[in-house]
Amino acid sequence: MNMTIPTKQYELQAALFGLAAAGFYLLMIFGTLAHIETLSGLRPFDMRPGGYSAELANSLINDLGPSGRRYYLTRQIPLDLVYPSLMALTLISLFKLLGSRDVSQKLVRIGIWFSIAAAIADYLENAGICLMILSWPEISANTVLAASVASIVKTGLTTAAVLIGLLGVGFWAFRGIRNYA
């Protein structure tokens, strides 16, 4: 059985999805999110891995003003609708690559599920941000809480997926070095 074809495919997918995800990330960090921070004087929701309070959410949305709120909805959110999928596809491709290189299939499956769950949490966070902006100035405390929790969960799941991937790469690399010794 020839294992090089799937391995090369996963390498190419990981590289292409990874480059696209990095491009979107950089565009958001240095473009839309930086502009939102300049407009409001506050870090945007997307840059608050520890979540946020209802008071902070109200302040951020208020300080954005009408054009800033429109900018968040029409510039940042569309980019952040693409980025979670690209990040998940990058991680999934990396996990499949690891799986083709004799790393624990259980570790691969867990990493894939964490990657998918992180993307879902990111989409839930985005939905919450949209709801908060669209309902402002009458933001529901439950909407803020849900968006904030989604942000925290997204951060935790993404971190876990990356750590699982690094552990998998480390284990695979260590086995390769040990086999040559």
Amino acid at 175: R
Give the separation between CA 7 and CA 3, rounded to whole angstroms: 6
Q: Two tokens at 169?
A: 């790469």
Spatial distance between the Cα atoms of 49 and 180, rounded to a whole number of angstroms: 42
Count other C-beta atoms under 10 Å from residue 74's C-beta.
10
**Whole-structure pTM value:** 0.88
pLDDT, tens digit, 9 for 90 and up, residues 61-114: 999 999 999 999 999 999 999 999 999 999 999 888 888 877 778 888 999 999
Upper half-sphere CA count for residue 36 (Cβ side, 13 Å): 25
pLDDT at 174: 62
Structure-block tokens of residue 90: 């990058």
Residue ranges of the chain whose pLDDT lies below 70: 1-5, 169-170, 172-181
- Whether the CB-CB separation of 157 and 120 falls below 8 Å is answered with no
Cα–Cα distance, 133 to 29 (Å, whole number): 20
Rounded Cα–Cα distance for residues 168 and 10 (Å): 15
Model pLDDT, residue 97: 87
The span from the CA of 79 to the CA of 34, in Å, is 14
DSSP-derived 3-state class of residue 42: coil
Residue 142, classed as helix, strand or coil, is helix
- The span from the CA of 130 to the CA of 57, in Å, is 12
